[in-house]
Amino acid sequence: MEKKTIIILSFFVLMSSLLAQNSVLEMYIQEGLQSNLALKQKQSNYDKSIQVLKEAKGLFLPNLSFNARYSVADGGRLIEFPVGDMMNPVYSTLNQLTSSNLFPQIENEVFPFFRPTEHETKLRLVQPLFNPQIYYNSKIKSELTNVKKADVETFKRELVAEVKSAYFNYLKTIQILKLTDRTTELLKENLRVNERLYANNKITIDNVYRSKAELSKLDQNIAEAIKFNKSSKAYFNFLLNRPLESDIEISDEKNFSFLEAELQNSQENAINNREELQQIQSYKIASDYNLRLNKFNKIPIFIAAVDYGFQGEEYNFTSDDDYIMASFVLSWDLFKGFQNNAKIQQAAIDKQIVETQYIEAENRVRLQVLDLFYEVEAVEKAIVAAQQEKMSATKSFEIINKKYNEGQSNLIQFIDARTTMTNAEYNVIITTYDYNIKYAEFERAACLYNISE
């Protein structure tokens, strides 16, 4: 029991020193949410959708337009006005009665249908009075705006998890480099001891060569560790839209806790808060509005229009040339070759598809949370086992190293003990940071991180 307590305590010491980076990491998360280029693109798409929604709502308001026309015409139809045929008999009778020629005969009037010159300058005000298409189009655009907003929030949550994972991967490489430094010192000391023993004819030259080979092998591992360190550093800075070689701050704060969430609560929290499900929900509402829109295409639309302006053959803007006209327009498509019925069926099918997608997505979210929950639990247990293995391997190496320096153990035993200890330390580093990376994934899946804050 005492040994287990020592393991747990030493584990917490390691975890607090390696993984407790809350305020510094939070600072980097906020920097990423402000600077990440991909997120900015998502935000621009959302901003654009807001303007599209404003455009759709603008259709409810009156439309005021200014129209001016000036026409020049020649030829065309002639209109004959038989004024002579109507009035000449009357004038003849009057001349006979008065024995005079006071009422001369007149000719029929003929004038062109088009005026030689004409202008019309007016303001037109159009106001929709009843148009379901405008109403449901606005509702659909509103839901599509919610889709874009949820898309932004989804990416934010993914970015938080990605920043955390990249940060822990970078810290992992730092610890691995520290481990290689300690191992290098150990191997150099071993080489020094072997060279001294060989000089005193205590061992053969092959032991010296073997020590040098182990050191060269470690140099290769160091080169790989440096490469991963640089690449992880560059990727972390990429997420924050910073120069790729920028330094990354490592905090000394100590604040870490194991997974305390319950599986069922985590699943329900994910169902209630996952932005992907909110997206599909908005699509489902939009598809319902689209179905209603197509059903309402069967009824008429009603608009009002008012024109006020000036007409005449010349540009005169006097009270004798102005006019005003109000109109009420009813438009009703009585038959369009069954097109609208087809659209209604299409909209109904789209709605069924989205409803099915929502059920599938909800089940997929529950499965994702469940898988990650058990993965975090498994890594949590692996950390304790790795820490216990490290303690045993370290004690074993200390004994073998002491025997080797006293000439009671051979080089093969020394190398085997040293390799076992190094691998155990490496395993602790990997499992420790893998826990944090896996927890960041679980945190994203279960919506445990408050994006709004």
pLDDT (tens digit, 9 = 90+) per residue, 69-89? 888 887 767 778 788 778 888
Q: pTM for the whole thing?
A: 0.78
pLDDT at 3 exceeding the cut of 50? no
pLDDT at 109 exceeding the cut of 90? no
DSSP 79: E
- Which is more confident, 6 or 145? 145
Q: Are 275 and 154 in contact (CB under 8 A)?
A: yes
Q: How far apart, in whole angstroms, are the C-alpha atoms of residue 311 and residue 296? A: 39
Report pLDDT for 452: 74
Task: Read off the amino acid at residue 40.
Answer: K
Report pLDDT for 181: 92
CA distances from 372 to 259, 319, 358, 376, 425 (A): 11, 81, 21, 6, 25
Element (H, E) at 383: helix 339-405
pLDDT at 339 exceeding the cut of 60? yes
pLDDT digits (tens, 9 = 90+) for 16-58: 444 444 689 999 999 999 999 999 999 999 999 999 888 888 8
pLDDT above 90 covers what percent of the chain? 50
Q: How far apart, in whole angstroms, are the C-alpha atoms of residue 217 and residue 223? A: 10
Q: How far apart, in whole angstroms, are the C-alpha atoms of residue 130 and residue 140? A: 18
* Interval 228-246 mean pLDDT: 95
Separate counts of helices (H) and strands (E) for the chain: 10, 6
Q: Are 112 and 80 in contact (CB under 8 A)?
A: no
* Banded model confidence at residue 285, pLDDT cuts 50, 70, 90: very high
Written as one string, the DSSP assignment of 20-42 is --HHHHHHHHHHHHHH-HHHHHH
393 token code pair? 């391997």
Of the listed ranges 95-104, 129-138, 341-350, 433-442, the least confidently predicted one is 95-104
* Banded model confidence at residue 4, pLDDT cuts 50, 70, 90: very low
For 305, the 3-state DSSP assignment is strand
Q: How far apart, in whole angstroms, are the C-alpha atoms of residue 73 and residue 112? A: 9
Cα angle, residue 377 at apex, residues 373 and 379 outer, rounded to 5°: 115
pLDDT above 70 covers what percent of the chain? 92
Q: Are 149 and 43 in contact (CB under 8 A)?
A: no
* Banded model confidence at residue 5, pLDDT cuts 50, 70, 90: very low
Domains in the chain: boundaries: 2-63+130-301+336-445
Report pLDDT for 16: 46
Q: Which CATH class is domain 2-63+130-301+336-445?
A: mainly alpha
β-bridge mates for residue 306, sequence order: 125, 326
Q: How far apart, in whole angstroms, are the C-alpha atoms of residue 373 and residue 394? A: 32
Q: Are 446 and 261 in contact (CB under 8 A)?
A: yes
Instruction: State the number of CA atoms in the 13 A half-sphere of 144 facing the CB.
Output: 18
Report pLDDT for 260: 65
Q: Are 236 and 225 in contact (CB under 8 A)?
A: no
